[in-house]
């Protein structure tokens, strides 16, 4: 194979690799725990009733995603890693993703609206670890509280 042909094939291969999605994420149905690669995960947090569900206290890691003003954000993709190995890639419409994981240190990356946030996470031997990923430039405006008697 001549040099020009080899260079052309290498360029073509590189272009294909760059367009292919690097990570495929599993979609989590809201409020329905699912098994993923030997662990359990759930997407939740849409509405007060879902956030108050006592089942979520049994999960060892809760990841919350918030935008500017602290409001919750949904429609996100989250990646969970430990020691550089990807353990899960999930899509969630809600602002919370919970995992049942053994105690240890993990890395989390979330993507929403074209932006990325990362954090480390510590899962304790007992109780629940919590991480809040913040996207300060993402989300809608927060409306001011309504007045009971607006000025006339």
The reply to whether 46 falls in a domain is yes
pLDDT at 145 over 90: no
pLDDT of residue 62: 98
The reply to whether 5 falls in a domain is no
**Over the stretch 35-93, which tens digit does the pLDDT of each residue have?**
998 899 999 999 999 999 999 999 999 999 999 888 999 999 999 999 999 999 999 99
The reply to whether 117 falls in a domain is yes
The reply to whether 151 falls in a domain is no
The reply to whether 7 falls in a domain is no
> Residue 118's domain is classified under what CATH number?
2.60.40.10
- Cα–Cα distance, 41 to 56 (Å, whole number): 10
Residue 136 Rama label (left phi>0; alpha psi -120 to 50; beta): alpha
- 14 vs 75, residue with greater confidence: 75
pLDDT of residue 112: 93
Q: Are strands 85-92 and 96-100 parallel, antiparallel or unpaired?
A: unpaired
pLDDT of residue 65: 96
pLDDT at 11 over 90: no
The reply to whether 100 falls in a domain is yes
pLDDT of residue 147: 66
The reply to whether 40 falls in a domain is yes
Tokens of 1: 């194979």
Domain span at residue 51?
Answer: 22-135
CA angle centred on 44, ends 38 and 50, rounded to 5°: 130
Helices (H), strands (E): how many in the chain?
2, 10
**Over the stretch 89-139, which tens digit does the pLDDT of each residue have?**
999 999 999 999 999 999 999 999 999 999 999 999 999 999 999 999 888
Number of domains, the chain: 1
pTM of the predicted model, to two decimals? 0.77
The reply to whether 102 falls in a domain is yes
Mean pLDDT of 10-34: 65
pLDDT at 150 over 70: no
């Amino acid at each position: 194979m001549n040099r020009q042909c080899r260079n052309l094939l290498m360029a073509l291969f590189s272009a294909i690799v760059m367009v292919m999605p690097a990570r495929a994420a599993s979609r989590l149905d809201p409020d329905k725990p699912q098994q993923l690669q030997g662990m359990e995960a759930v997407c939740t947090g849409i509405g007060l009733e879902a956030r108050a569900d006592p089942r979520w206290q049994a999960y060892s890691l809760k990841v919350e995603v918030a935008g500017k003003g602290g409001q919750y954000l949904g429609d996100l993709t989250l990646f969970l890693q430990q020691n550089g190995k990807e353990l899960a890639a999930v899509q969630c419409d809600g602002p919370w993703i919970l995992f049942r994981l053994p105690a240890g240190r993990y890395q989390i990356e979330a993507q929403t609206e074209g932006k990325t946030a990362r954090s480390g996470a510590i899962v304790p031997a007992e109780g629940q670890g919590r991480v809040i990923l913040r996207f300060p430039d993402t989300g809608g405006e927060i409306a001011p509280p309504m007045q009971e008697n607006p000025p006339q």
